[in-house]
Each structure stands twice: as structure tokens, then as C-alpha cells.
Amino acid sequence: MKRSLRGYLLAEAMVAGALLAITLGTTLAIVASSAADERYASNHGTASMLARAKSDELASTPNCSPGDQVGFIVVNATYPQYRWKWTVANAANTASSTPPITAGSLCDLTVTVRYPAARNGREDNADGTVDGEAIVTFSRLYKP
């Protein structure tokens, strides 16, 4: 007696569907995570570049004139969501070194940039900013 070919059982179809759903879900999660990581890297990189540029600008002054930018101000029209502040001080007052730093020989410069961050993302944490913001700080010593 010849048996006729049968189709798939319902259980086999359900297992195949579940495997397909798990695979698609995992793939979509990886794509979403990659997009968030790319945004993080882009915003963080821009903020770091702006902090470095401002520190270079301040370090190009001919003397160490202590002062600071009290509140965060908008960087410029190109980057309206990025705000910065900076502090310039005589390094003899802020750093301890051996041998001691003589007054006026080095300046201590700190530039802080606030930038947009994904809410509840890896950089949106308890850093003193509002939700959806993060901070990058760039510090350096320079000789005027």
C-alpha cells in the first residue's frame, strides 16, 4: 500500500514560526541598539571637538588671565543644542606638583560642554544635568 505525502503538522509550523519571531526580534533589537550607539558617538564626538576647539582658542591668549564663563552659553548657531562654559586659573593655585609650579608659568584650563543625549541612555545619568543631556569636560595645562 502506497502512503500519500502529508503536509507539516501544526506543532512543526508553530515551532518554525516561533524561531522566525525570535530571530526577527533579535535582529530588530540589534539594529535599534546600533542606531542609539551611533547617535551617542556622534553627539559625544561633536561635544569633545567643541571642547577641544574652545580650549585651543583660550590657550592661544598671550597671558594667563584667570576668569570663567559663569553659566552655560550656546556654542554658536551651527550647534544650538550644545552649550559650554570654561574656567581659566593660574595652575600654581589649583595644582600640586614637584617641583612647585611658579605663579604665572602655567594656566589650568577646563572647558565643559553640555550636549543632547538619549533619555535613559548610557550617558543620561546622574551627572547634574536635566534629562536628555550629558556633559563632557576637557582639562589641560598650558603655558601662555
Q: What per-residue confidence (pLDDT) applies to 102?
A: 59
**How much is the pLDDT for 19?**
96
Number of domains, the chain:
1
In a domain, 3, yes or no: no
Asked if the structure places residue 69 within a domain, the reply is yes
Give the 3-state DSSP-derived string for the chain, with helices as H, strands as E and coil as C: CCCCCCCCCHHHHHHHHHHHHHHHHHHHHHHHHHHHHHHHHHHHHHHHHHHHHHHHHHHCCCCCCCEECCCCEEEECCEEEEEEEEEEEEHHHHCCCCCCCCCCCCEEEEEEEEEECCCCCCCCCCCCCCCCEEEEEEEEEECC
Domain housing 41: 10-142
- Supply the pTM of this predicted model: 0.63
Low-confidence ranges of the chain (pLDDT < 50): none
Classify residue 61: in a domain, yes or no. yes
Please indicate, yes or no, if residue 101 is contained in any of the structural domains.
Answer: yes
Residue 24 pLDDT: 95
133 located within any domain: yes
User: What local confidence, expressed as pLDDT, does residue 121 receive?
Assistant: 60
